Structure 1
Amino acid sequence: MALFHPIVLASLLPIWAFYYWIVPYFTTYKHLRHLPGPFIGKFSNVWLGLGARKGQKYAWVHGAHQKYGKVVRVGFNHVSIATPDGLRVVYAHGNGFLKDIFYEAFISGVPGVFNVRDRGEHTRKRKIVAHAFSPGAVHDFEPYMSANLQRWVVQLDRISNDPGKDGFARMNIMPWCTFLAFDIIGDLAFGAPFGMVWRGRDECESTRPGEPATYVPGAETLNRRGELSSTLGLLPALRPWARYLPDPFFSKGLRSVKNLHGIAVAAVAKRLESTEAAQPGMQQRRDILEMLCRCKDAEGNSMPRDELVSEALTQLIAGSDTVSNTACAIIYWILDGERRNPGAIVSRLQAELDEAIHANPSIAAHGEVKNLQFLRLCIDEGMRLHSTSAIGLPRIVTGNGGVSCENEYFPEGTVLSVPSYTLHHTADIWGSDVEEFKPERWLNATPQQKMSFNPFSYGPRACVGQNVAYMELSLIIGTAFRRYDFNLYQQKLESHEGFSKKTRRMLGWDQVAGRQSVG
């Protein structure tokens, strides 16, 4: 028993650390020794994991690239490549690379199309899910988006009808974008909105196995789940012990993982029950869940219930978190661009919207805004600056020949990633005005800039719902700037990262007031 005495264990820890961290640096991963990077990152993933724990992984990796260059060793076997060619090599069709074990930390229930690692299984799932995002299907989504957008402007009108002395009603736009995005994806993925816009608060029903239904904050739950999963994905050795760690970050995060899965379980169950109770001959809703239920794989099999829940949960996460933060960030950057260049942004955008949108509507129609050039330029420039999908998505090099990129050779088994935020903020690509909101830069974008723009990832694992995202963003931004005038008092946009980068207290002192509609 003396072997387990605390003093003996303490004396053995340096020996264990030497063989666990130091020896592999000189042996297994010696081919990476010449690459620059943070000192701790050369021996372990602790540096990356700590950045994820603090919600600043994207910023830490960006800082490392600014200090060390385009190719940086950020983990014991993980290299970050911040170049357009890196995107082509790491995420291209046909390269055979696998998703890293990082993604296993995001699985609750069975794997979904986002976190499944097996290539064949991903292909099967993507073929099924892609049907729900075909051009015809996306067109059918507009009535659901419009109904929720209508409820949204009713609430904003109510707020704007109580202005201060300067004629503007103070509000924090971030939660209202969150409520809208959650309600829209609830309508599309589960058949009914969560009711956040109507209630004006972050609340969703959640059902956990063996427990009665309860209400949990949906956005907060999703944020905590993303923060925890990103951290444990980088530090997989902690996963079995996470529940025992004294840091409440882990216990709260694990509870959020269960609650988020419960949100999907409750919503899918309600929808399927209502479908089963429907009268014969009744017209079916045309939404994501209906299409997932109807689709079959190559063998003619329908999607099992647990897989249906996982795929619906994937759509909930992808369609709420990203859209809400992106919409908020675009509003901020439009207003910040106007603040720095008075008369150059907002008036031009509103003139385009006034000409395109019919007189006195409450909200924009997609047919009116989908082809508006300046609106699209503003959306793309906002996505470049904010980069909701900011982190480098890790891939494992496969094949006996390895891969070469940026004059470096990476053998099979190396983990590579390309950080979107850094690509979007590299002066060598975008010019000395890289940190400025300039929509017109897209009118003459270079091939290198077009290749570097990566808001939806790239290659066979790119976001399947990007057409829906553009549609939703066009409706939200088009409606907001057609209907309201804004004053921006916030000087800096602060962000916090879970899996995606989200605005923190977004537009905390933003103000909104009603515009006179132009016929």
Structure 2
Amino acid sequence: MSIVDTLVALNPLFLVALLPGFLLLAHLVQYVIDPHRIRANDVPGPFVAKFTEAWLGWVAAQGHRSEVVHKVHQKYGPFVRLAPNHVSISDPEALQIVYAHGNGALKSDFYDAFFNIRRTLFTTRDRAEHTRKRKIVSHVFAPKSTREFEPHIRAHVGSLLRQWDRLADGGAKGEQGSDGQGGWKGHNGRVWLDALPWYNYLAFDIIGDLAFGSPFGMINAGRDYAAVAVTQSDALSGNEKVTTTYIPAVQILNDRGDFSASMGVLPPWVRPLVRKLPWYANGSKAVKNLAGLAVAAVSKRLAEPSGRTDLLSKLQEGKDDDGNPMGRDELTAEALTQLIAGSDTTSNSSCAITFHLAANPSVQAKLQQELDNALGTEDDPVAHYEDVKRLTYLEAVINEGLRMHSTSAMGLARIVPAGGLTVLGTHFPPGTVLSVPSFSIHRDKATWGDDADYYRPERWMERDPALIQRAFNPFSFGPRACIGRNLAMMELSIIIASVLRRYHFVLENPDLPLDTREGFLRKPLECRVGLKRREL
């Protein structure tokens, strides 16, 4: 028995006292050895980040990772060390290298923190497994397939307009009421409310309808709730007698994003220990509840076949190279992925675009003129995609909103493959973790102009298209880019065209910026606006 073993046997607290010193020594040794030549390449960054992932873990947990990393880049330059083996590169040219097709780079263990039910198209890190899953899922999001989803999208946008018409009519009369989100009130001929929760309800109802066969009913109820399975194992095994309860799904999704994004930047061996801390324990509960939501919804749909065309039906049709469809647990996990990917992203973007239009009256008026010219006095208040998909200024308004408020704003971590990668003249050996932050490259003044920090859609008609597309990254880039891009753009086009053609918006407090919090996605916290019906 060694001296250490003897001391531990005599006093278990000795191990607790020894652990911090051991960790410090291990990180110092790694820094000195410099296996990935980050120190040799003279990559600057916060002092603590040289030795431990704790700095990035703390920043991520505070909810403003992208803004903090951007400020660090402004201080140190295009290369910044975020952790002992993680380099962030803030340059549009790096996008084409770090995330390129065929470069061999894989997702890092950051994505292990998002595991739920089983590996999905988003969370798998294995190249062969990703190829298999993408083959099964890709047909779902082909342009022809996404057009089949339009009637579902338009129906829910119509439900939102009816709710806002009701509130606007009451607001014009000076009425007020409660909507569970700070209430609404009539003043100066407008209704004043928080648009964010309503966009959340809309996005959840749309993707719930598409991914699970029926909406959650949030728009009509005017509140955040959804059924979750109490016991998931029975449902996943095919037992249709699923006991459910109800949860605030939007809040659960927010909690899960905070938890997974913060957990993912920590070393894998630390995660089981950190999960026991109160804040992380709440996140673990959110992960379980989110899985229960998918289990309950898929079980209900499979028990009541409908023959309708939606994401779930197309996922069921998909087959791999051997002709095998997805099993029940894989189907459920992929449907959950579509819910996560298609809800927050749409609601966040719709909210941010509405905020910027309300903050810029001349832009709002120019867009409404384009919509009036294109749609005329058509009775149907909900736009058809065919009528708006080629509207130049609408596209610029949406793209500028996605630039200013990228829902996926952080740098997505990739592991340098065998042979290494050379980025902007600096060579990184295999195993180095690299990322390119969308938040920062979307503010690159060499690309976007000196006013890159401001919302101005006209830049999309003025700047070199090849230059700006190279630095525009709302859906990521390369083989792991967002597979639902076509669906997302169709949704946003219909939502923004319909809402802005029908209402005029002003900010409740024009002096306040759009406040956000970032988990995995960067979310607005509220969007308080005054709206009134337009006369067409």
| Length-normalised TM-score, structure 2 | 0.91
The correspondence for 1:493, drawn from 485, 489, 514, is 514
Runs of 4+ aligned residues of structure 1 deviating over 6 Å after TM superposition are none
The correspondence for 1:39, drawn from 34, 38, 47, is 47
Q: Letter of the aligned partner of 1:320 in structure 2?
A: S
Asked if the contact 1:24–1:30 (Cα under 8 Å) also holds between the matched residues in 2, the reply is no
Equivalent residues in 2 for 1:196-345, closer than 5 Å: 196-209=218-231, 212-235=243-266, 236-245=268-277, 248-275=278-305, 284-338=307-361, 344-345=362-363
Deviation at 1:516, TM superposition (A): 1.3
What corresponds to 2:202 in structure 1? 180
Question: What secondary structure does 1:499 align onto?
Answer: coil
Asked if the contact 1:487–1:512 (Cα under 8 Å) also holds between the matched residues in 2, the reply is yes
Q: Letter of the aligned partner of 1:487 in structure 2?
A: V
Q: List per-residue Cα deviations over 1:311-363 (Å, max 9, x = no partner).
A: 0011000000111001100111122222xxxxx31111111111222523221
Q: Letter of the aligned partner of 1:345 in structure 2?
A: V
Q: Letter of the aligned partner of 2:516 in structure 1?
A: S
Asked if the contact 2:416–2:434 (Cα under 8 Å) also holds between the matched residues in 1, the reply is yes
The correspondence for 1:404, drawn from 414, 422, 447, is 422
Measure, in 1, the Cα distance between the counterparts of 2:221 and 2:387: 29
Asked if the contact 1:366–1:474 (Cα under 8 Å) also holds between the matched residues in 2, the reply is yes
Cα 1:30–1:459, aligned 2, differ >3 Å: closer, same or farther?
closer
Deviation at 1:114, TM superposition (A): 0.5
Deviation at 1:9, TM superposition (A): 4.2
Question: What secondary structure does 1:162 align onto?
Answer: helix
Q: Letter of the aligned partner of 2:194 in structure 1?
A: N
Asked if the contact 1:36–1:73 (Cα under 8 Å) also holds between the matched residues in 2, the reply is yes
Equivalent residues in 2 for 1:495-514, closer than 5 Å: 495-505=516-526, 507-508=527-528, 510-514=529-533
Asked if the contact 1:370–1:474 (Cα under 8 Å) also holds between the matched residues in 2, the reply is yes
Please list every run of 5 or more consecutive structure 2 residues that lacks an aligned counterpart in the other structure.
1-5, 172-185, 233-241
Measure, in 2, the Cα distance between the counterparts of 1:212 and 1:242: 31
Deviation at 1:304, TM superposition (A): 0.5
Q: Letter of the aligned partner of 2:524 in structure 1?
A: T
Q: List per-residue Cα deviations over 1:146-171 (Å, max 9, x = no partner).
A: 11111111111111112234111111
What corresponds to 2:238 in structure 1? none
Asked if the contact 1:29–1:76 (Cα under 8 Å) also holds between the matched residues in 2, the reply is no
Cα 1:302–1:19, aligned 2, differ >3 Å: closer, same or farther?
same
Asked if the contact 1:111–1:310 (Cα under 8 Å) also holds between the matched residues in 2, the reply is yes
Asked if the contact 1:334–1:437 (Cα under 8 Å) also holds between the matched residues in 2, the reply is no
Equivalent residues in 2 for 1:16-27, closer than 5 Å: 16-27=22-33
Asked if the contact 1:97–1:395 (Cα under 8 Å) also holds between the matched residues in 2, the reply is yes
Measure, in 1, the Cα distance between the counterparts of 2:398 and 2:301: 33
The correspondence for 2:134, drawn from 112, 119, 126, is 126
Question: What secondary structure does 2:270 align onto?
Answer: helix
Measure, in 2, the Cα distance between the counterparts of 1:201 and 1:181: 13
What is the CA RMSD across the aligned residues, in angstroms? 1.5
Q: Does 1:438 align with 2:456?
A: yes
Q: Percent identity?
A: 46
Deviation at 1:454, TM superposition (A): 0.2
What corresponds to 1:193 in structure 2? 215
Which stretch shifts more, 51-60 or 384-393? 51-60
Q: Letter of the aligned partner of 2:339 in structure 1?
A: L
Q: Letter of the aligned partner of 1:335 in structure 2?
A: A
Cα 1:8–1:252, aligned 2, differ >3 Å: closer, same or farther?
closer
Deviation at 1:11, TM superposition (A): 5.1
Deviation at 1:365, TM superposition (A): 1.2
Deviation at 1:2, TM superposition (A): 4.2
Which stretch shifts more, 52-61 or 140-149? 52-61
Q: Letter of the aligned partner of 1:167 in structure 2?
A: G
Measure, in 2, the Cα distance between the counterparts of 1:11 and 1:290: 56
Q: List per-residue Cα deviations over 1:218-266 (Å, max 9, x = no partner).
A: 1110111011011111113332124421xx3212111100000111111
Measure, in 1, the Cα distance between the counterparts of 2:218 and 2:493: 21
Asked if the contact 2:36–2:429 (Cα under 8 Å) also holds between the matched residues in 1, the reply is no
Count of residue pairs brought into register by the alignment: 500
Measure, in 1, the Cα distance between the counterparts of 2:323 and 2:452: 50
Asked if the contact 2:381–2:502 (Cα under 8 Å) also holds between the matched residues in 1, the reply is yes
Asked if the contact 2:192–2:508 (Cα under 8 Å) also holds between the matched residues in 1, the reply is no
Q: Letter of the aligned partner of 2:403 in structure 1?
A: R
Asked if the contact 2:400–2:457 (Cα under 8 Å) also holds between the matched residues in 1, the reply is yes
Which stretch shifts more, 425-434 or 81-90? 425-434
What corresponds to 2:181 in structure 1? none
What corresponds to 2:397 in structure 1? 378
